[in-house]
Amino acid sequence: MTDQNDLPGDDPLDDPLSDPSIQIEQLAAERDEMRDKFMRALADAENARKRADKERRDAEQYGGSRLARDLLPVHDALNRALETVGEEQRAVAPALIEGVELTLRELANVFTKHGIAILAPQIGDKFDPQNHEAMFEAAVPGTRSGEIIQVMDSGFKLHDRLLRPAKVGVSSTPAS
């Protein structure tokens, strides 16, 4: 046997039609909650879209950075080969020297095409820890502290990211 209080419709609070103002308040609260959830979901979706777009752009710009880093020693080797060539070798094998120069120029063109910039500091430039790596420091008369006194290797940037700093020697405060 059921209790009379258990019958549906007997309790005035269970009946949404009993007091329209309560129902309106409940619906307004539910609407506000759903609007809040919707706005949060919309914001999350927009943030996910922006994040995916940024990751796609980064992959396009920096996806080849490992390959680029692997090609830097090739550039260095070709430069060193040309630096060691004397006049005697130029006279004996001009076609070979010209081939190395052309290869180095083509590699530089490929670097430029893919957003790789060569950082070639000059002696006398100011040392920049963002782009240079100090390999040694020496007191050299006639120089100022922090001035580049020797360049060992060029540095490289891929767009705005440093692939490898330029390796330089830096002047310390000259000894008196």
What is the predicted pLDDT for the residue at 7? 53
At residue 174, the pLDDT reads: 67
Residue whose tokens read 């120029």: 105
Do 85 and 97 form a contact (C-beta atoms < 8 A)?
yes
DSSP assignments along 87-118, one per residue: HHHHHH-HHHHHHHHHHHHHHHHHHHHTTEEE
Give the model's pLDDT for residue 86.
83
Q: State residue 176's pLDDT score.
A: 54
Residue numbers of the chain with a pLDDT score lower than 70: 1-18, 174-176
This prediction has a pTM of: 0.66
In 3D space, the residue among 144, 151, 152, 153 whose CA is nearest the CA of residue 126 turns out to be 144
- Residue type present at position 32: D
CA distance 83 to 70: 21
